[in-house]
Structure 1
Amino acid sequence: MLLSIDEFLWALRRDGFAVSTAQAIDVARACALVGFERRAALRDAIGAVVVDRAADIRRYHAAFDRFFAPEGAHVGDLWARLRERGFSASELSALRDLLAAAAERSGVSGDAIGFQALAGTAGELDRALQSAGIARALAPMTSSLQVGFFAQRVMDQLGVPAVASALRRIRSALEEALGEDRGRALAEALGAELERMRHRVREHVTLSLRRFEGEEPAAPGRMDVPFASLGEGEMEEVRRAVRALSERLRGAERVRRRRARRGRIDPHRTLRRSLQTGGVPFHPARRARRRDKPRLMVLCDVSDSVRVAARFMLEFVCAAQDLFDRTRSFVFVSELAETTELFSAMPTGSALEHIQRGEVVSRAHNSNYGRVLSAFEQRYGRDVDRRVTLVILGDGRTNYFADQAEVVRRLRDRARALLWLCPEGPGAWGTGDSAMLRYAAASTKVLVARTARELETAAREVVARRA
């Protein structure tokens, strides 16, 4: 039963539930307490550990019923599944010897993984699919049209073609050792197992793409949905989350300032002062830490491809201006315009509407990063110094114009830090008209900001650069 529970937890992971090792241990303890006699009690005990949201209970119940149905998942390794099909111990022993010889003959580590995945439990295949090497192989995938190609790439990495070739070779050996009928039946059962493994690989690749696109049912809220997929109601929810983040950061800044006014304890002065009291430091001496308050300059691409991400970033900048000594904001498409005075003269929402209507910079043209970066360096480059954190938000798609990545490099050398926030994942960098690989090399750091949660992480990184 412990093996069955382990396989069920891996089935839940495939369905999108996040089950940690600690939770798996708690599930085993819960099962030991409630026993396996009452189905409903067992289902509820496991659910109490692995289900975090009420909205997921129905989906969890469906997964439980599907797994533990009489025709549900086959639990155990290859040999247990073949025993369920009616093959005897002597027949499985002959097969084991043939598979061991085939695996030894291949002599390649990747092929060995394929043989282990075929012969192991479903959980072992899942662990192989979640390895770092498979994750790197799937990183460039960006479209559902690529699922077949990347599924084949994963199969090659696991050694599935070598396993298929070995099974074709041992078919005749099985017929010779077990007789034509039993050998053919065992070979067909192995073919069904191999097809099951291929199906699981394709399923894993499809699920990975859905996670990348934010369409996975288990996504924990709107903060993890890509900006391009947000509806109007969802955008308002994310907007409130961005404002709440700004308030939290401002609160942390007030605490930091209050502590800074007290100053840090100066150990040397405290020890010298303690000589008056026989070496007992009754009166700690403090030292005020003087530090220039850093400045922030933000350039946001407001073209259609990144306008939602830019809107949230500009809202964050406006809401958290007191975190920096001076905050200057700029927007661009093909031309560059400063919006610092615009945001100080009117409410944030109204200023953003002006930008969205194209009243600040024309949105009728395609993005021209090279022209904008050169214009920024020429007009405002002298204002960039070691107190300035420069943030650029854009997808780096130049529409095949010059990228002027050397301008980014020069600005980075002048600034405290140059952070690039990109609303596209690394898998899309360098494809088509993307110059993000060159911009990434020229920047201090690139932060992916496809979702509100990733934008929150990026915003915290921007604030952390003040220290």
Structure 2
Amino acid sequence: MEERTLQFIAALRANGVRVSMAESADAFLAMQQLGIQDRERFRQSLRSTLIKEQRDFPTFDRLFDLFFQAGSPPSMSNLLEDLSSEEAAQLAEALRQFAQQIRQWMEKVLRGESLSPEELAELDQWLNAHPSPLDRNPDKLLQRYLKALQFEEVRQAMQELLETLQTLGLNREKIEQLRAGIQQNLQAMQEQLRQHIGERQRLQATQRRQTPSIDALLQRPLQHLSPREMEVLRHEIRRLAASLRTRLALRLQRERKGRLDVKTTLRAALKSGHVPMQLYFADRTLKPKIVVLCDVSTSMRFCSELMLSLLYSLQDQITHTHAFAFIDHLEYISPDFERQPVQQAITQVLWRLPPGHYNTDLGQVLGEFERHYLYTLDRRTTLILVGDGRNNYNPSRADLIERFGRLARTVIWLNPEPPWMWGSGDSDMLAYLPYCDKVLPAATLAQLVTAIDAIVLSRAH
């Protein structure tokens, strides 16, 4: 409790409340004399010793509830242990009707397994990549966690499972035992999430607001950046692009020569009587040709902006770039970059395609590309799609990605969402996945730079 109280005092200071060393000592003395068993008395003792100004009361109350809440979540039970072999076989048969992703979560609940640290970290990564102004509200944040886990879908699937087991002849008493155990395990998992949210918010509360280093910003999810941090990364793009451009130019210079040019070598040798013989090599074109389709909807806007900035800063090392931007329709934007500087072109493109809510239609966009721009693809072309694969339940048209892959040299998808989110909700990423040669992560600027390195520099081999 002393350690938690020290963290609480640090959080007060980080949130602008002035707390002296003497006041901290008074708080610990009050804890010793009054104890901590009575929560309201404990609250009053801390408030009277740590808070001097009435304006700080709301901050104190918010942080107190955050730091001093209930303890461990309810335990979870392995519901499979009490099943006979016949009952286990009936359960396995009933589970087969569900899609793999839902079935895996159902089996986890039935086994009584809590969320692992890795699963919680992946949830945090997804939420950081898709921030909401309501995230400071623990109840709203909990609902976002539950939605990401498809919690309601799992709950409904459990009800269907019990109905199927009844049809298969499992006795009523066992079904009711399973129903009670499932409900208990779901509540325990929900409470685990609630406590994880509290720990996450406690950590945020104790961290002083300061401008992070460039290295930290490179690793931070793009959707979690403040406007000031976005501006810092816009300037950093120039340095990163210059470094990439230098590396690519050096590699192209080293590997500029291709296969032996026999005709030129023999023709030159005839003039000199074959002594000495100088070898001539045919130059080979190593610079890539790129077609890029960028999702500029709300969730992808800054990611696509940085991707375009990097690509167009490397134009002297690329044979040609055909660039497109889309939300619910496709726009050819290469002419914008030919007429003006990169950042001005991006600003104009984003102004022309303002973001909306839930209006991405990737299937429609792929259809437009097939009808009007298929000529841009050939066996030297790298086709890049930058997007999260979320399509608002519109037709995916994954068949078109397959067709584009037959025409292009390679198809690469840059996606900021972690793989475990693919296929959830309105995500069509699993439909597109079989037709992509690579899917590269793009949640941070560091990952974007690595992706560009893999796409552009690899063509110099």
- The alignment's TM-score, normalised by the length of structure 1, stands at 0.50
> What letter corresponds to residue 401 of structure 1 in structure 2?
N
Q: Distance in 1 between matches of 2:147 and 2:424?
A: 17
TM-superposed CA distance for 1:284, in Å, is 8.6
Q: Is the 8 A contact 1:147 1:205 kept in 2?
A: no
Find runs of 4+ consecutive structure 1 residues off by over 6 angstroms: 146-151, 201-210, 215-219, 262-266
**Secondary structure in 2 aligned to 1:306?**
helix
Equivalent of 1:381, from 366, 374, 384? 374
1:227 aligns with 2:222: yes
Aligned residues: percent identity?
32
Contact persistence 2:123–2:145 (CA under 8 A): no
* Structure 2 equivalent of residue 442 of structure 1: 435
Q: Among 361, 367, 371, which residue is 1:368 paired with? A: 361
Task: Tell me: CA distance 1:382–1:148, structure 2 relative to 1, closer, same or farther (3 Å).
Answer: closer
Q: Establish whether residue 316 from structure 1 lines up as the match of residue 310 from structure 2.
A: yes
Query: Following the alignment from structure 1 to structure 2, what is the Cα–Cα distance between the partners of residues 137 and 413?
Result: 39
Rounded Cα–Cα distance in structure 2 between residues aligned with 1:330 and 1:243: 22
Which residue pairs with 1:174 in the alignment?
A: none
Q: Quick one: distance in 2 between partners of 1:225 and 1:137?
A: 17
Residues 1:290 and 1:367: Cα distance change in structure 2 (over 3 Å):
same
How far is 1:241 from its partner?
A: 2.5
1:429 has 2:422 as partner: yes
Q: Distance in 1 between matches of 2:457 and 2:195?
A: 36
Query: 2:323 pairs with 304, 311, 329, which one?
Result: 329
Which residue of structure 2 lines up, in the alignment, with residue 305 of structure 1? 299
Partner Cα separation in structure 2 for residue 422 and residue 390 of structure 1: 14
In structure 1, distance between residues paired with 2:283 and 2:199: 48
Shift, 1:438, TM fit: 1.4
Residue of structure 1 in register with 2:33 after alignment? none
For 1:327, the aligned partner's letter is T
The offset of 1:425, in angstroms, is 1.8
Match in the other structure for 1:400: 393
Q: In the TM superposition, what is the alpha-carbon distance from 1:283 to its structure 2 partner?
A: 8.9
Deviations 1:52-71 (A, max 9, x none): xxxxxxxxxxxxxxxxxxxx
Q: 1:284 to 1:234 in 2, by over 3 A?
A: farther
Q: How far is the alpha carbon of 1:432 from its aligned partner?
A: 0.9
Q: Give matches, 1:138-149, under 5 Å.
A: 139=122, 142=126, 145=142
User: Take 2:254 and 2:231, find their aligned partners in 1: how far apart are those partners?
Assistant: 35
* AA at the equivalent of 2:300: V
Partners of 1:453 and 1:262 lie apart in 2 by 32
Kindly state the Cα deviation for residue 150 of structure 1 after the two structures are TM-superposed: 11
Superposed CA offset, 1:313-332 (max 9, x none): 11111111122111111111
Amino acid at match of 1:135: E
Structure 1 residues 209 and 404, CA gap change in structure 2 (3 angstroms)? farther
Structure 2 vs 1, CA of residues 440 and 207 (structure 1 numbering), >3 Å: closer, same or farther?
farther
Cα 1:324–1:137 change in 2 (3 A) is same
Conservation of the 8 A alpha-carbon contact between 1:412 and 1:442: yes
Higher relative contact order (CA 8 A, sep 6+): 2
CA contact (8 A) 1:367 1:398 kept: yes
Alpha-carbon distance between aligned partners in 1 of 2:365 and 2:286, rounded to the nearest angstrom: 29
Aligned counterpart, 1:259:
254
Q: CA 1:329–1:208 in 2, change beyond 3 Å: closer, same or farther?
A: farther
Secondary structure at 1:341's aligned position in 2?
helix
Q: 1:147 to 1:343 in 2, by over 3 A?
A: closer
Structure-2 change in CA distance of 1:202 and 1:386 (3 Å): same
Contact 1:260/1:288 (8 A) holds in 2: no
What is the alpha-carbon distance in structure 1 between the residues aligned to residue 148 and residue 395 of structure 2? 32
Task: Choose 304-313 or 284-293, whichever is displaced more.
Answer: 284-293
State the alpha-carbon separation in 2 of the partners of residues 427 and 456 from structure 1.
Answer: 23
Show the counterpart of 1:343. Answer: 337
Q: Partner residue of 1:419?
A: 412
Give the direction of change, closer, same or farther, for the CA distance of 1:309–1:259 in structure 2 (3 Å limit).
Answer: same
Counterpart residue type for residue 332 of structure 1: F
Kept after mapping to 1: 8 A contact 2:401/2:435: yes
Gaps of 5+ in 2: 1-6, 8-80, 82-115, 128-140, 152-188, 266-275
1:139 and 1:426 in contact (8 A); partners too: no
Aligned-partner Cα distance in 1 for 2:394–2:146: 33
> What is the alpha-carbon distance in structure 2 between the residues aligned to residue 209 and residue 322 of structure 1?
45
Distance (Å, rounded) in 1 between the aligned partners of 2:432 and 2:438 = 10
Note if contact 2:257-2:284 (Cα within 8 Å) is conserved in structure 1.
no
Alignment check: 8 A CA contact 1:262 1:286 kept: no
| Structure 1 SS opposite 2:388 | coil
Superposed displacement of residue 465, structure 1: 4.0
1:294 Cα offset (Å): 2.6
Q: CA deviation at 1:352?
A: 1.5
Q: Distance in 2 between matches of 1:465 and 1:254?
A: 12
Alignment of 1:145-164 (within 5 A): 145=142
Q: Are 2:252 and 2:286, in contact at CA under 8 Å, matched by a contact in 1?
A: no
Superposition map of 1:209-224 within 5 A: 220-224=215-219
Q: Given the superposition, is the C-alpha separation of residues 257 and 458 from structure 1 closer, same or farther in structure 2, using an over 3 Å criterion? A: closer
Q: Pick closer, same or farther for the CA change 1:208–1:287 going to 2, 3 Å.
A: farther
Change (3 A) 1:338 1:264: same
Would the alpha carbon gap of residues 137 and 380 (structure 1) be closer, same or farther in structure 2, given more than 3 Å must change? same
Q: How does 1:17-96 map to 2 (within 5 A)?
A: none
Other-structure match for 1:464: 457
SS in 2 for 1:413: helix
Question: 2:239 — aligned with what?
Answer: 244
CA distance in 1 between partners of 2:301 and 2:350 (Å): 8
SS, match of residue 305 in structure 1: helix
Runs of at least 5 residues in structure 1 that lack an aligned partner in the other structure: 1-14, 16-105, 107-132, 154-197, 271-281
What is the alpha-carbon distance in structure 2 between the residues aligned to residue 326 and residue 433 of structure 1?
Answer: 34
Cα displacement (A) at 1:433:
0.5
Q: Shift in Å at residue 227 of structure 1? A: 1.2
Aligned pair in 2 of structure 1 residues 465, 134: CA closer, same or farther (>3 Å)? same
